[in-house]
Structure 1
């Protein structure tokens, strides 16, 4: 990538390219082949009473709190308001979990937790400072984290999870109230959500690529989606005349663009882009190969919906979706075909939200945060690890 200081040589050694693997989990290299667990209602069973950490889990699963806001970890004070996150494999068989901080007024950023091969916490540090309302984002196949600012004219910051290279703003991805990003590894395009009641769905296409085949995030064009109704719902993409929103917000620049009510998490798996909209409690799927858009979950269709307050989204290796709740019942809910059922629930965090779900590279552990903890205050966030037969 042009003006990109990240170490491309190391990325190439990790054998995770657009030509090969798709982004199954929030990491860029599998430590071992991930088990394609079904996560079905039958295999998980009922949630048990809350454990000592206040987490209800199926039998065979355990929880631990790996970090709390304000806790001093190896000289780094774990940030308040932990939000979107992802994991990245390390060369020694361990992994790194990165977590945004959704604080206001240039008090946000991104923190990182580094684990060894046994899952022991070995280090903690900052990889981005002095930004605002870092909400969600997206991992890249070249081992970087795209951290999104959820403010008017918010930026996307490309960060090095290993903490060796300075973060870079990627303004070609647009200036708007960013929420999350997913990368289509087949077509080398980025999809972006916008957290506004009249927010839109965006797509970035690079004009140039580096030697490894990765897209240049400073040299490309941004498009905005319009839904076309017919026998199936399709998308028509329009180029944005002013991605930097110098005079008009991006979502208002193309009259034919279609609003999505509060775009939240977004995830890519084998040709499908999944994303959530919190304003209408829906989960969508966009088939990039056939240009087909569908609603795969709509809370309004249920008398007593299991999943409400849809927010961050991830998936296991077999493509079973995990959706985190903002309020709701403080659950992470599995969507597997026609089945919708809770994987876990946090008790006593009624004024919080679940954020940043991401599997470890081998798929055996799930990380996430309760953004405001038991008190409902951002300085009381808690970051969890769940271990079990995923």
Structure 2
């Protein structure tokens, strides 16, 4: 699956994306990613933060649950989970969910142009088990409740506007969201063993207050064609949204979701798979499956996923051996980093700074194995541009 041309097309314009499609058609039935040497080389010994990184990369702790963030007066939330980055003048902001129930919510950290922490604050409160979510093209953060009949909340990373509950996006066990500005839709994963993949098509792009919730309809195979069908009752009561449409395709524990250049990648934790939707051809296939690799699978416990302009995908592990693995455009999967001494935790919230030079992520329960022990990190180094 030659992703590089597509993701670069997202940076330079739609004409490049159209050219990339011609190239991709020849690789449309590529096999799932296989283990191989990573683009950044082997992992080195653990640093002072217990993180193994390739040569040239360094880590720092940004925040710890229950402690003040940097020199600010703001106390970081418990169980940090899904996250995203936003430009902020000459600096940037990293947003992070809190996967606790009750309370939940989300917080943000503000950075200067040099990476110094200049502020931290709450952007969502009094919600339930906010796991993953997604960034919108209009620079809001969709924070998703991972509970039965959960909601999506649209929040302001800049801390100015009040959060708004988006009922029209459906009530189910929400996990992640990924916005598609071409088809003007938001894709949504569902963390159920017999869950579905949804898309929300707003009545007006940029306004999530009304629209149609649809579910992906396809066969039972691991590749094929798909279509979308309206969910009659997005409220999910008395019949769950995943049970309302005949032929809705089942996915085993939907997790992370990422959109780039007419493709959606999403993970399913129940079978350790990364799926790919080709939105130009309305086809789907496996991008990774740990049961189909040659030798030992480097990536297990698949969870949150993000991508770079170069075309690399970065997939975080919930369990496994606490790694973030990279899947390259030529379908090679390899560890990028490994967190030691935190086997009772999970990695979540991977997101790149706007210039692509810094990767943020969290260990949800840290060394303690408790939600009060969460740690949020930053990794800096020569990421491929």
Tell me the TM-score normalised to structure 1 length: 0.87
Q: Distance in 2 between matches of 1:190 and 1:115?
A: 28
Q: Distance in 2 between matches of 1:319 and 1:236?
A: 26
Aligned pair 1:248/2:239, yes or no? yes
Deviation at 1:255, TM superposition (A): 2.5
> Corresponding residue for 1:183?
179
Q: Deviations over 1:166-189 (max 9, x none)?
A: 000011110000000001121111
Aligned pair 1:358/2:356, yes or no? no
Q: Distance in 1 between matches of 2:83 and 2:15?
A: 24
Aligned pair 1:163/2:152, yes or no? no
Q: Is the 8 A contact 1:155 1:170 kept in 2?
A: yes
Q: Distance in 2 between matches of 1:229 and 1:374?
A: 40
Within 5 Å, which residues of 2 pair with 1:1-390? 41=37, 43-73=39-69, 74-91=72-89, 93-105=90-102, 107-207=103-203, 209=204, 214-228=205-219, 233-302=224-293, 303-336=295-328, 337-390=330-383
Q: Deviations over 1:34-70 (max 9, x none)?
A: xxxxxx9364111001000000000000000010001
**Unaligned 5+ runs, structure 2:** 1-10, 18-35
Q: Deviations over 1:47-97 (max 9, x none)?
A: 001000000000000000010001123221100000000000012x10000
Q: Deviations over 1:253-284 (max 9, x none)?
A: 11221110000000001110000000000000
Q: Is the 8 A contact 1:87 1:97 kept in 2?
A: yes
Q: Distance in 2 between matches of 1:229 and 1:42?
A: 33
Deviation at 1:215, TM superposition (A): 3.5
Q: Distance in 1 between matches of 2:213 and 2:150?
A: 15
Q: Distance in 2 between matches of 1:225 and 1:43?
A: 34
Say which SS state the counterpart of residue 372 (structure 2) adopts. helix
Q: Is the 8 A contact 1:61 1:387 kept in 2?
A: yes
Aligned-residue Cα RMSD (Å) equals 1.9
Q: Distance in 2 between matches of 1:200 and 1:84?
A: 20
Q: Distance in 2 between matches of 1:232 and 1:285?
A: 9
Q: Is the 8 A contact 1:19 1:185 kept in 2?
A: no
> Corresponding residue for 2:21?
none
Q: Is the 8 A contact 2:223 2:286 kept in 1?
A: no
Q: Distance in 2 between matches of 1:113 and 1:206?
A: 29
Q: Distance in 2 between matches of 1:349 and 1:42?
A: 23
Q: Distance in 2 between matches of 1:139 and 1:180?
A: 10
Say which SS state the counterpart of residue 279 (structure 1) adopts. coil
Q: Is the 8 A contact 2:38 2:335 kept in 1?
A: no
Q: Distance in 2 between matches of 1:347 and 1:195?
A: 27
Q: Is the 8 A contact 2:38 2:332 kept in 1?
A: no
Q: Is the 8 A contact 2:314 2:324 kept in 1?
A: yes
Q: Is the 8 A contact 1:109 1:130 kept in 2?
A: yes
Relative distance call for 1:256 and 1:271 in structure 2 (3 A) is: same
